[in-house]
Copies of this chain bind each other. A is one copy, B any other.
Amino acid sequence: MTEKQEKILQSALQLFAREGYHATSTSKVAKAANVSEGLIFRHFKNKEGLMHAILDEGERRFKSLFADIVLETDPKEVIRKTITITNKIDKKEYDFWKLQFKLKWELEIDADKKMDPLKMALTNAFSKLSYEFPEREAQLLLLFIDGLSTAVLKGSELNDREMVGFLLKKYDL
């Protein structure tokens, strides 16, 4: 991975996240990266390839974000770590995560499957804690996390730390 290659990825990420995939032209990316437009196609074949390179990185970060939770054995910890997952996202990485959420709509990507391991871990945790409907509890919590993440990434005014704290209390953690 050359220096210019990384610069292209970084510029594309920022532009795709802030203005959208279709609204961002390859020439814009090239200018932002201070690179000839042709270089984008040399390295990433086409615009879609460029986006895929970014998406693959997303997959990796998703997994590493979940890894810590999925390996946890204490059920209460599983739930606590899930609820506080938004706290782990650095503000510097907002563009990156924003893009992941944006692309779910723009490219009709099925994000459900990415969450499956987390859902299983949660279902298991609720089960261990003798909740009556562990799977629905897991689903419910995931919906909340999705809603909260969306709100935060869209720059909503809601106080996410406060909401996280509130939820923790609700789940008796």
Can you pick out 16 interface pairs between chain A and chain B where the beta carbons lie within 8 Å of each other?
Answer: A22-B22, A101-B105, A102-B106, A104-B154, A105-B154, A106-B106, A110-B154, A112-B151, A140-B163, A140-B166, A140-B167, A143-B143, A143-B144, A143-B148, A143-B163, A150-B150
Copies of this chain present in the complex amount to: 2
Known pairs A20-B22, A108-B154, A140-B163. 15 more at Cβ < 8 A? Answer: A20-B106, A102-B105, A102-B106, A105-B106, A110-B154, A112-B151, A112-B156, A133-B166, A136-B166, A139-B163, A140-B144, A140-B167, A142-B147, A143-B144, A145-B147
Does A1 sit within 8 A of B, measured CB to CB? Answer: no
Interface size of A by CB at 8 A reads 33
Looking at the complex, which one of B106, B136, B157, B158 makes contact with A163 (CB distance below 8 Å)? B136
